[in-house]
Amino acid sequence: MMGRQTGGQDRLFYAFDLDAIVPTNHLLRGIDKFLDLSALRQHLSSFYSYTGRPSVDPELMMRILIVGYAFGIRSERRLCEEVRLNLAYRWFCRLGLEDPVPDHSTFSVNRHGRFRDSGLFRHVFESVLARCMKEGLVSGEGFAVDASIIKADANRQRGVPGTQEIDWNDPALTTRPVREYLAALDEAADGASPRKPSKRISLTDPQSQWTAAPGGPAFYAYSANYLIDLNVGVIVDTETTTALRTDEVAVSKMMIERVADRFGLRPKRLAADTAYGTAATLAWLVEDKQIAPHIPVWDKSEGKDGLFGRSDFTWQAATDRYLCPGGTSLQRYRRTFKKKRTGITKDNTIIYRASKYDCMICPLKPQCCPRTPSRKIARSIHEEARDHARALAKTPAYEQSRNDRKKVEMSFAHLKRILKLDRLRLRGMSSANDELLLAATAQNLRKMAKLIWRPPKNDGIIAPA
């Protein structure tokens, strides 16, 4: 049976009113103003029995978790202790002076049980986002997307090479993160082709990815992905993935679609870094979603060592060929085939080749193709989308987006430095996702409190009645 918190602050057993003690300009007062958990009991009702011993009030647990993520209190044991002792935390959690604080073990039971099954953390994140929209902080005109590596709660020493056989039935390894990892493997085996094994696999959190920042030591990590609105940097969606660029790009598309479905937000522009500038992603944005990609084009075709790059060749759409600096053409086919060919490679490119007889006698050959008989150019089947992104990169709006993109980087800096989430507290992909949803909820609440809330101008203490 779902319990309800009894007692409360209206019972003045003591000599002072808790509400009068908490400073009027305390950040939690601002957060409380924008946090509405009235729909939470309804959302969870089917996950509780109507009989039996009353549980801890889920709203109380959610408020305690929000305190933890908003103030960077990493341990649930310490969080419960802080709520027990801190009057402002007690006030925010609707606890009276003598009300007991739930035991820290209650949180892990509910996190991995009802809260996860019911999608509670996403429900609360979305209700806070809806409030941000209601307060006019989300314009929906432009979004930015980015990913940041967050260390997993996995010791570097507790891992084995990815190619090594692991006996997952070993009782010492039958933990919840391992069970989740094996379930994810089974799911993946039904769909796409198997992935290349990771260099190392953690035995404590096998879903984390062995990764390294440039120049630093390798460690196990996840990727935190944020989609933010460019107006004031409200986080409109978040998702955790493995720390692989392909997964980060794939989830960015999923987040854009989810925000459109859930809130009807369809941005006109998307700002992102080069990792998102692949031909397929640009084509998806331009052709499928009609979103202007303010993204640098992922391009390896520019010339190195002073050699001609692709931009030195002129595309002639009408005749389906490139014109080289020497004045000759690069064509898709140089002979006729009995069976018609598309000429599209498995990388979704079309190869245009110059004639080796033209190149052989060309005075520009040392600058063009000194080590091959003739020059060839790979053109993506999405080249028009790439050209569109290149053209946008010369506009003032793109320059504006480049500056605006810093807002998503600032959100990650805030997440890691202020909320102290530079290392995850829980193991497994789903727990990492729960943590990120809670942290993003806390960030959006803090943003509303900072930008909209205006505390009364006095000494911060309400005089007791």
Q: Does 359 bind ligand SF4 (CB under 6 A)?
A: yes
CB-CB neighbours of 257 under 10 Å = 14
Q: Does 358 bind ligand SF4 (CB under 6 A)?
A: yes
Choice from 67, 259, 368, 436 touching ligand SF4 (CB under 6 A): 368
CB–CB of 93/63 below 8 Å? yes
Residues 14, 18, 20, 21, Cα dihedral to 10°? 100
CB–CB of 159/203 below 8 Å? yes
CB-CB neighbours of 206 under 10 Å = 28
Q: Does 455 bind ligand SF4 (CB under 6 A)?
A: no
93 vs 377 by CB, closer to ligand SF4: 377
Q: Does 354 bind ligand SF4 (CB under 6 A)?
A: yes
Q: Residue count at the site for ligand SF4 (CB under 6 A)?
A: 13
Residue 31 and residue 49: Cα distance in Å, rounded?
Answer: 31
Token pair of 68, please?
């933890």
55 vs 328 by CB, closer to ligand SF4: 328
CB–CB of 95/101 below 8 Å? yes
Residue 388 and residue 158: Cα distance in Å, rounded?
Answer: 47
Binding segment for ligand SF4 (CB under 6 A), chosen from 17-25, 26-34, 77-85, 368-376, is 368-376
Q: Does 310 bind ligand SF4 (CB under 6 A)?
A: no
Binding segment for ligand SF4 (CB under 6 A), chosen from 124-132, 205-213, 298-306, 324-332, is 324-332
Is 58 exposed, middle or buried (CB count within 10 Å of its CB: 0-12, 13-18, 19+)? buried
CB–CB of 228/236 below 8 Å? yes
CB–CB of 381/345 below 8 Å? no
CB of 427 to ligand SF4, least distance (A): 55
Q: Does 265 bind ligand SF4 (CB under 6 A)?
A: no
Q: Does 23 bind ligand SF4 (CB under 6 A)?
A: no
53 vs 371 by CB, closer to ligand SF4: 371
In degrees and rounded to multiples of 5, residue 160 shows phi and psi of -135, 160
CB of 310 to ligand SF4, least distance (A): 12
CB of 286 to ligand SF4, least distance (A): 30
Q: Does 321 bind ligand SF4 (CB under 6 A)?
A: no
CB of 361 to ligand SF4, least distance (A): 8
Binding segment for ligand SF4 (CB under 6 A), chosen from 83-91, 169-177, 240-248, 353-361, is 353-361
Q: Does 37 bind ligand SF4 (CB under 6 A)?
A: no
Token pair of 187, please?
């799911």
Q: Where on the phi/psi map is residue 209: left (φ > 0), alpha (ψ -120 to 50), or beta?
A: beta
- Give the binding site for ligand SF4 (CB under 6 A): 324-326, 328, 354, 358-359, 362, 364-365, 368-369, 375
